[in-house]
Structure 1
């Protein structure tokens, strides 16, 4: 909630302090930042009559001196150049410039030199350089996400941009929270270490004055970790509502594009799934798929009751009441249609891809031992003509991650069978995954087989039984948060940057996953926060992954590594 509120407050201040008709000018990234926290109707209420992209404004010469231009941009050199040209030849009556992060002095000088006609009324930094998807989950939507898998020497320029973008956004988060954290990182990840060290340098040296907030009794903690420490979570089929929609259809900035799935009414081709704007989704986003069906049935029943009462119009008073309630009735109709459409489409996909069969094997591979039974189950999936190429590949990857040291001969048999059964199989992609995220590369005890405490925990879970066979898996993040709550996060595995040290247990923890988060992990964070341990966790990452995104990053990293002849 805190980050959504922070971004909403920034945008509200930006718009309400400027009276009259406005055009809001954004870039490709601030569009996402604004759209997840502010609806179009809310922008209209703030007298925003036009929303444009900064690069398209550059191409138009039409004068609009009756409008005031409100710019909200990332402070990139490209955006500064767009602004320089637009201010030099103004089309609008006034220019109000807001940036989502820290401006450099040179950038301020460029803007000042370009404002010969003195149309710029104000220049401000509003620290909202992140996309706040949910109360405890935000993302950066970073391009070239695959680059974290490669050594910096493979593509130094892209690697530096990637790290710079991560550091800038982490800084914006702590400026929005008015905090300066203690910073720790995953020891086995070069990219996590680099981002942690550069963030510390920015906050404690280069911009120390900006981060000199009133000290809290215990500093918050920023923990930078690597997606490759838990490659299992983004490979699994999902069975809770939000995670399942992203896995089977895809969510981008809390929007779901249904155009490719069939013929939908124009107003339903793209639907919004936001916990801030949709009370049914907020109540059900972490629920199991089976429970969702029952809850949607209740929603439909409620809507039918409302529809019946609206049909019973007999007097002028009834008509007036209907008119008053019509916006709410329409909203309810749209909401019901949206959720029924989503669940219907997902049910079709589950049946077509035999995902209940696939997922049962995946969960056994992720949660339980038994190499012989696992080999047989994966072999059966590979032989099943109904299973898609992608689902076959994921099952072999999950087997390889679990049993890479135990059964090299059988693993090679699965590789060969996969290559013969799947036309889309990219040779060497599973081996590349093991080089990236195999047991020798991981810091944590992913399968709970090294640490006595984890072995006991897994045994207790097995004896107690699992309520749903399809949702047995717990992301590694759960174990990490548990270690933080209990003060057991090992310094040797997660060193602190610099000479700082943590005095007592932190009350605020931001976990940044280089390579991307998953909605399964954001659910894990929400559940942890509801336990009232006295620690508030916030999850963030370079992107939000589903299995397609994770596999795409793997393939792109493998392609770049091969083309540069790198040993990765």
Structure 2
């Protein structure tokens, strides 16, 4: 489990050599990093009896000299100042400081000068500055994710902070993997180019000694691409388990908030969906909706069999056996009720929003031609009272991305229809999407109609039919990975940074999507890794998207772009 193992190894090293009762102190970023890789019970086994945020520690004055403080923080200037204040009036018996990325010399001097009471036992860099959601999928959880859509002139300091955070995260990933990559980027994206160049500068110039790992026959590859090259994937409804939960309910750091879902027991109001901690989820996270229902029923039947056998307690030996197995029984009970609650809620949403009807048209728009039939299908759904505002908006966006050049008149009719039918419709949002991610802005062959091989593949798929009409879409990332495997990534589309070039197929490839990944793409990566043992892909992004998050980022970028344009008008 590549990424998860790397983070777990760092956390183990932080905690295992410090004996006695400990308090683990985190910041708003590292709390996510630790929570996805380590469970509460595992922390307790390491004698961590308290987990606190660094901000709340600053506000409290209560002495706790019996506890040893283990800090794990990002090396930000705010955190360094927090540490300076906390070391000046210490509350704990010992201080062990770990930072998730590279410390500047000035920061080390500030910490050393602040340790007047000589209570800091160690200061180390542990490169876990990313959220390892799964073996081959990580996120940087950047809250201001919309910034990648804005030109640099709009807000240079904010954009620089965004780029710095991405560069820090990528540096940590490669330090954790002990690799130094060749770096390529999407030619049509200014932000991808900027991040690629700044990452190369850090790895090959500023910190070249730190990245001087044993050379491989073919260097690993880092490919930096832009979400706007494939705006279709985050707009689609999903029908495989993990992706569907995120689309319909939402997943944050491998946790699902069920407080607003029907009658859920108190201990089930926030549930963990982690392939590391849940064997059923690991086996089913990429399965489609229909199969999940059958598999959950099978799990319920197995649980009922266990329950019946437990009811048959007749002797002291039976009772002792039940008590021994009780933790497993409770875990099984929790797992069954969790998955039943999720599938029940999703079934309800699918029914209420008529998502099977909506999704069929979405998949046709994403995968097949036929502009006339598509226009009629979208118009009918816009007129359907049971279709929600967000689904209407996504349908028009998908139509616009597909047919922006072919049917401007029909497109305008759909814009007008959408505005009249949807109270929440933001004027100009579809046009803003086309400005950001229209055909003239994209590098990849999103609809498979430029490349002869893709045209042939699409025709063959159409003739053979698809196993499931709701999951026929393949993200553009799948094509990109196939091109890397076959050595067909064109230098003109994805140039190398500097004078580097690559001969041969890399064994390790990290693809970073500026603007965010989707669980559909994470599934493609996992399935491809399982069938191609000679090459390992890792997917990362600035956030994890579902359609709501993608649209929210789009709205925020549109709002800032408009206000900037208004200011410029007034100043002239």
* Fold agreement, TM-score > 0.5: yes
Post-superposition CA distance 1:365-404 (Å, at most 9, x none):
0000000000000000100000000000000000000000
Helix, strand or coil at the partner of 1:36? helix
Q: 2-side partners of 1:291 and 1:511: how far apart? A: 30
Contact 1:236 1:359 in 2 (8 A): yes
Q: 1-side partners of 2:263 and 2:109: how far apart? A: 52
Query: 2:460 matched to which residue of 1?
Result: 460
Measure how far apart 1:501 and its partner are.
1.3
Query: 2:244 matched to which residue of 1?
Result: 244
Contact 1:246 1:546 in 2 (8 A): yes
Question: How do 1:11-26 and structure 2 match up within 5 A?
Answer: 11-26=11-26
Helix, strand or coil at the partner of 2:18? coil
Measure how far apart 1:533 and its partner are.
4.8
Post-superposition CA distance 1:401-449 (Å, at most 9, x none):
0000000000000000000000000000000000000000000110001
Measure how far apart 1:503 and its partner are.
2.4
Q: 2-side partners of 1:509 and 1:462: how far apart? A: 31
Query: 1:92 matched to which residue of 2?
Result: 92
Measure how far apart 1:504 and its partner are.
1.0
Post-superposition CA distance 1:53-99 (Å, at most 9, x none):
00100000000000000000000000000000000100000000000
Q: 2-side partners of 1:500 and 1:444: how far apart? A: 22
Contact 1:485 1:533 in 2 (8 A): no
Query: 2:376 matched to which residue of 1?
Result: 376
Post-superposition CA distance 1:348-374 (Å, at most 9, x none):
000000000000000000000000000
Q: 1-side partners of 2:457 and 2:198: how far apart? A: 37
Q: 2-side partners of 1:120 and 1:467: how far apart? A: 60
Q: 2-side partners of 1:144 and 1:156: how far apart? A: 14
Contact 1:508 1:536 in 2 (8 A): yes
Helix, strand or coil at the partner of 1:68? strand
Query: 1:228 matched to which residue of 2?
Result: 228
Helix, strand or coil at the partner of 1:204? helix
Helix, strand or coil at the partner of 1:237? coil
Measure how far apart 1:261 and its partner are.
2.1
Query: 1:290 matched to which residue of 2?
Result: 290
Query: 2:126 matched to which residue of 1?
Result: 126
Q: 1-side partners of 2:157 and 2:264: how far apart? A: 43
Q: 2-side partners of 1:352 and 1:513: how far apart? A: 33
Query: 1:113 matched to which residue of 2?
Result: 113
Q: Structure 1: 5+ residue runs without aligned partners?
A: none
Contact 1:247 1:546 in 2 (8 A): yes
Query: 2:338 matched to which residue of 1?
Result: 338
Measure how far apart 1:262 and its partner are.
2.6
Q: 1-side partners of 2:444 and 2:41: how far apart? A: 46
CA RMSD of aligned residues (A): 0.7
Q: 1-side partners of 2:236 and 2:528: how far apart? A: 21
Contact 1:255 1:271 in 2 (8 A): yes
Q: 1-side partners of 2:394 and 2:187: how far apart? A: 28
Question: Normalising by structure 2, what TM-score?
Answer: 0.99
Contact 1:141 1:542 in 2 (8 A): yes
Question: How do 1:139-288 and structure 2 match up within 5 A?
Answer: 139-288=139-288
Runs of 4+ in 1 over 2 A off after TM superposition: none
Query: 2:419 matched to which residue of 1?
Result: 419
Contact 1:186 1:494 in 2 (8 A): yes
Question: Does structure 1 residue 550 correspond to structure 2 residue 550?
Answer: yes
Q: 2-side partners of 1:523 and 1:358: how far apart? A: 22
Query: 1:6 matched to which residue of 2?
Result: 6
Q: 2-side partners of 1:244 and 1:154: how far apart? A: 35
Measure how far apart 1:463 and its partner are.
1.1
Helix, strand or coil at the partner of 2:66? strand
Q: 2-side partners of 1:138 and 1:444: how far apart? A: 23
Query: 1:406 matched to which residue of 2?
Result: 406
Helix, strand or coil at the partner of 2:191? helix
Helix, strand or coil at the partner of 1:262? coil
Query: 1:386 matched to which residue of 2?
Result: 386
Q: 2-side partners of 1:17 and 1:310: how far apart? A: 42
Q: 2-side partners of 1:270 and 1:76: how far apart? A: 30
Q: 2-side partners of 1:415 and 1:260: how far apart? A: 33
Helix, strand or coil at the partner of 2:538? strand
Post-superposition CA distance 1:281-313 (Å, at most 9, x none):
000000000000000000001100111111111
Aligned length: 567
Helix, strand or coil at the partner of 1:24? strand
Question: Does structure 1 residue 354 correspond to structure 2 residue 368?
Answer: no
Question: How do 1:363-512 and structure 2 match up within 5 A?
Answer: 363-512=363-512
Post-superposition CA distance 1:446-481 (Å, at most 9, x none):
000111111011111111110000000000000000
Post-superposition CA distance 1:171-201 (Å, at most 9, x none):
0000001100000000000000000000000
Q: 1-side partners of 2:214 and 2:370: how far apart? A: 54
Helix, strand or coil at the partner of 1:450? coil
Measure how far apart 1:260 and its partner are.
1.6
Helix, strand or coil at the partner of 1:390? helix
Post-superposition CA distance 1:253-277 (Å, at most 9, x none):
0000011223311100000000000
Q: Structure 2: 5+ residue runs without aligned partners?
A: none
Q: 2-side partners of 1:563 and 1:18: how far apart? A: 53
Q: 1-side partners of 2:433 and 2:373: how far apart? A: 23
Post-superposition CA distance 1:32-62 (Å, at most 9, x none):
0000010000000000000000010000000
